[in-house]
Every structure is written in structure tokens, then in C-alpha cells.
Amino acid sequence: MTSQNLNVTDARNAPTVKVLGTSELTQERLRAAMWFLVPMLLVLAVVAGWPLYRTIYFSLTNASLTSLSGATFVGFDNYYSSTTLKSGKVLYDGILVDSDWWNAVWNTIRFSVVSVVLEAFFGMIVALFLNADFKGRGIVRAAILVPWAIPTIVSAKMWSWMLNDQFGIINDVLKRLGFIEKGIAWTASDATAMLAVLVVDVWKTTPFMALLILAGLQQIPKDIYEAADVDGVHPVKQFFRITLPLVRPALMVAIIFRMLDAMRIFDLIYVLTPNSSSTKTISVLAKENLFDFDKFAYGSAESTVLFLIIAVMAALYIWLGKVRFDGGDR
């Protein structure tokens, strides 16, 4: 962190003031680095910055999809507004008082936390297993990545057939085993919809988690374990005292990636349970307002708040978890 700050200062001062101790060579390198960065920054500005700016801009207008250019500025009305009626009654409007919005926020948070915790847990088990030496390890490693490699839309469709209450294989198996009498409408019933989505997401994303954790595990030197074995440390204690602390940086990075990804979940829910209010997340709700309903500005406001939530979460997480993306520990 400190060294980065210094660099920034140097770069800013370099052209005008000659800072003592900064050699010609360093300045030369900084200038070169800047030029190498320019194409990437330009690409980022075009593909990320501009859409973000437009979304925020539209969220402050009354735009509809059919008249984007005719949008006029309405301030923060899409977020929150109040009108006082003649009778003295006050009406509130905007996403901050919209029960659909808060329902979506709750669904998103519930989904993200539960799915990421489960994925981290199972991912760790799978990674420990894959880290062990056994015959055919290479094949198993490749095979375990298959769920991750299948495009979400395809696996979601696959699962929606498997979960079907009439023809689905899952109900069929449960019926044959005698657990249930009638098929359960997994994706249709409010009680089981979120469970269905969670199962599919965990199935799909655990391999990704496992892979990142496995990379962390492989960096742990073997001789630490040998020393622990010589001292007679119980394997469970070895895991909590050696493995977990040493794999933590990798685990943290994996969790943060998954968390940011889970917060904006869309495709899985869009295919499995598109209209169920018990699984509607912020992205699904925003899409509905942006394109299905004629409320482009309102949907933009929802997208903007989602962006802010994710940004704040990422910042907090990095700060609290002391995560360094270069894999080391601070």
C-alpha cells in the first residue's frame, strides 16, 4: 500500500518537480509504464466506465426504453420521493420504499451468503481430496471441472428438467425410494424454489472454488507437515493450525470472487424460477423493469444501487479480511 502511494506521488510530480533521489531511469520507466497502461485504461473506460456512467445517468432521469433520448432529469425521484396530497397525506415512492425491491435485496443476500458458504465448505473438502496423492488424480481433477465448464444456461435448463414435478428424474428417484408419494414441484413452489436454485448453484460453482483452494494448498511446503508428523500432531489439529492459516489468502480471494459473482446472479434464476417472488434477485428485478416493464430509469436506479452495494462490500471485505490479491498475507 505504502509503496503504491509513493509511486503515485512520484508519477504526479515527475513532469514538473524533480524529486530528489528519483533517477532519470525511474522516471523513464514510469513514463513507459504509463504508455503501456493507456490501451487497457481506454478499453476499460469504453466497456466498463461508459456503461456505468450511462446507467447512473439514466437512473436520475425518467427515461423509458422507447424514448431514451427524450429523457429529462428528475433528480433522485427513482430512489426516493414524497408527495404531499391536499388532504395532508404523504405518499412515498421510489425503490427505497418499494417492497419488491427489499424482497429482492433479501433474496440476493440470502442466496449469496448461503451459496458461498456452502461452496467454500464443499470446495475445501474437494480440494483437500484432490491435493492427496492417488492414482488417476489428473483425470479426477479434470472431471470435477465439468459442471463449471458447462454454460450456466445449459446446466440450468438441464436441472429444470431434472427437477420437473412430473417427468423429473429427481422426483422419480425419491418416489421409487419411497421418500415422497407425489412429485414435488421444486421450482414452482415457494417453499422449495430457493432450495432448488441453491442446489444447482452449489453443484455448478463448487469446482471453481475447489480449484482456487487447491492452488493455495499446493503452495504449502510439505516439510511443515513432516515436522508436525514428527512431533505427533493430530491431523485435525494440523488442518486447523497449518493448512487453514496458510491457505487463507487463497481462500479469501476465492470467496470474494464468488461473493461478487453471487450478488449479481441472473442466468440461473432466469431459467429455473423466473417469476417466483421467493427467488427474484436484484438483477432479475432490474431486468424486468428495464426491458419487460416500461421503467428503464427505475431499472437503472436498481442496477446502480446493486453496483454500490457490491462496491461497498468488496471494499469492506478487502479491508476487514486484509486480503492481498498477490496471494501473500499482509
Partner 1 sequence: MKFTSMFIGALTGATMLCSPALSAELKFVTGATGADIEFAQKTFAAFEKATGNKVTIVPMPSSTTDQFGQYKLWLAAGSSDIDVYMTDVIWAPQLADQFVDLTDASKDVIKAHFPSIVESQTVNGKVVALPYFTDAPALYYRKDLLDKYGKKAPATWDDLATIAKEIQDKERAAGNKDMQGFVFQGNAYEGLTCDALEWVKSSGGGQIVEADGSISINNPKAAAAIERAKSWVGSISPAGVLGYQEEDSRGIWQTGNAVFMRNWPYAYGLGNSADSKVKNQFGVVPLPAGSASDKSAATLGGWNLAVSKYSKNQKEAIQLALFMASAENQKANALFASHLPTIVALYDDADIAAKQPIIPQWKNVFLNAVPRPSAPTKVKYNEVSSLFWNAVHDTMSGKGSAKDNLEVLEAKITKLKGANW
Q: Give the residue from 148, 141, 77 showing the smallest Cα distance to 300.
A: 77
Beta bridge mates, 153: none
Distance between CA 141 and CA 205 in Å, rounded? 14
188 binds partner 1 (CB under 8 A): yes
Identity of the residue, 258 or 287, whose beta carbon is nearer to partner 1 in the bound complex: 287
Length of the chain measured in residues: 330
Among 112, 155, 164, 300, binds partner 1 (CB under 8 A): 164
Q: Give the residue from 197, 198, 208 showing the smallest Cα distance to 253.
A: 208
Cβ(92)–Cβ(317) below 8 Å: no
Identity of the residue, 217 or 290, whose beta carbon is nearer to partner 1 in the bound complex: 290
Among 167, 179, 239, 240, binds partner 1 (CB under 8 A): 167
| DSSP code per residue over 32-60 | HHHHHHHHHHHHHIIIIIHHHHHHHHHHT
**End-to-end CA distance of the chain, in Å?**
10
The 3-state DSSP class for residue 140 equals helix
State the minimum distance, in angstroms, from the CB of residue 60 to partner 1. Answer: 19
Cβ(14)–Cβ(27) below 8 Å: yes
Distance between CA 157 and CA 259 in Å, rounded? 23
State the minimum distance, in angstroms, from the CB of residue 65 to partner 1. Answer: 5
State the minimum distance, in angstroms, from the CB of residue 78 to partner 1. Answer: 15
Among 34-42, 119-127, 182-190, 238-246, which window interacts with partner 1 (CB under 8 A)?
182-190
183 binds partner 1 (CB under 8 A): yes
State the minimum distance, in angstroms, from the CB of residue 121 to partner 1. Answer: 30
State the minimum distance, in angstroms, from the CB of residue 269 to partner 1. Answer: 14
State the minimum distance, in angstroms, from the CB of residue 274 to partner 1. Answer: 7
State the minimum distance, in angstroms, from the CB of residue 291 to partner 1. Answer: 4
Among 187, 205, 283, 303, binds partner 1 (CB under 8 A): 187
Identity of the residue, 190 or 226, whose beta carbon is nearer to partner 1 in the bound complex: 190
102 binds partner 1 (CB under 8 A): no
At a CB cut-off of 8 Å and minimum separation 6, what does 84 contact?
90, 91
Grid cell locating 93: 415512492
Interactions with partner 1, residue window 35-74 (CB under 8 A): 64-66, 68
Distance between CA 165 and CA 132 in Å, rounded? 40
Interactions with partner 1, residue window 266-305 (CB under 8 A): 274-277, 287-288, 291-295
Binding mask 114-143 for partner 1 (x = CB under 8 A): ------------------------------
Identity of the residue, 75 or 274, whose beta carbon is nearer to partner 1 in the bound complex: 274
Among 158-166, 237-245, 301-309, 311-319, which window interacts with partner 1 (CB under 8 A)?
158-166
Helix axes 99-131, 190-217, angle to 10 degrees: 40
Cβ(210)–Cβ(127) below 8 Å: yes
The dihedral sign for the CA sequence 17, 23, 28, 29 = negative
Place of cell 429427481: 170
State the minimum distance, in angstroms, from the CB of residue 56 to partner 1. Answer: 19
Binding site for partner 1 (CB under 8 A): 64-66, 68, 164-167, 182-185, 187-190, 274-277, 287-288, 291-295
